[in-house]
Structure 1
Amino acid sequence: MAYSYEPHSFEEFEVGQVFESPGRTMTETDVVMYASISSDWNELHANEQFARERDFGERIVHGPMTFVQAIGMLMRIGVLERTAYAFLGMNAMDLPNPVFIGDTISLEVEVAEKRVLESRDDVGLVVFDTTVTTQDETVVFQGDMKFFVVKRSES
Structure 2
Amino acid sequence: MPYSYEPHYFEDLDVGQTFESAGRTVTETDFAMHSMFTGDWTELHTNKEYSEDGPFGARIAQGPMTFILSTGLFQRTGIVERTVVAFLGMNYMDIPNPVFIGDTVSADFEVTEKRDLDSRDDAGLVVIDSEMTNQDGESVFAGDMKFLFKLKSDAE
Q: TM-score range by the shorter chain?
A: over 0.9
- Find the aligned partners of 1:68 and 1:113 in 2 and give their Cα distance: 22
Structure 1 residue aligned with 2:139: 139
Q: Partner of 1:7: helix, strand, or coil?
A: coil
Q: Deviations over 1:13-71 (max 9, x none)?
A: 00000100011000001100110111000001111111111110011111111111111
Could you state the TM-score of these two structures normalised by the residue count of structure 2?
0.96
- Find the aligned partners of 2:127 and 2:110 in 1 and give their Cα distance: 8
Could you state the TM-score of these two structures normalised by the residue count of structure 1?
0.96
Computed over aligned residues only, the root mean square deviation of the Cα atoms, in angstroms, reads 1.1
- Find the aligned partners of 1:153 and 1:4 in 2 and give their Cα distance: 21
Aligned structure 1 segments of 4 or more residues deviating by more than 4 angstroms: none
Structure 1 residue aligned with 2:72: 72
- Find the aligned partners of 1:114 and 1:153 in 2 and give their Cα distance: 16
- Find the aligned partners of 1:67 and 1:44 in 2 and give their Cα distance: 17
Q: Deviations over 1:133-153 (max 9, x none)?
A: 001111000001000000012
Query: Unaligned 5+ residue runs, structure 2?
Result: none
- Find the aligned partners of 1:118 and 1:54 in 2 and give their Cα distance: 51
Query: Unaligned 5+ residue runs, structure 1?
Result: none
Structure 1 residue aligned with 2:6: 6
Q: Deviations over 1:118-144 (max 9, x none)?
A: 121100000000110001111000001
- Find the aligned partners of 2:93 and 2:35 in 1 and give their Cα distance: 21
Q: Identity over the aligned pairs, expressed in percent?
A: 57
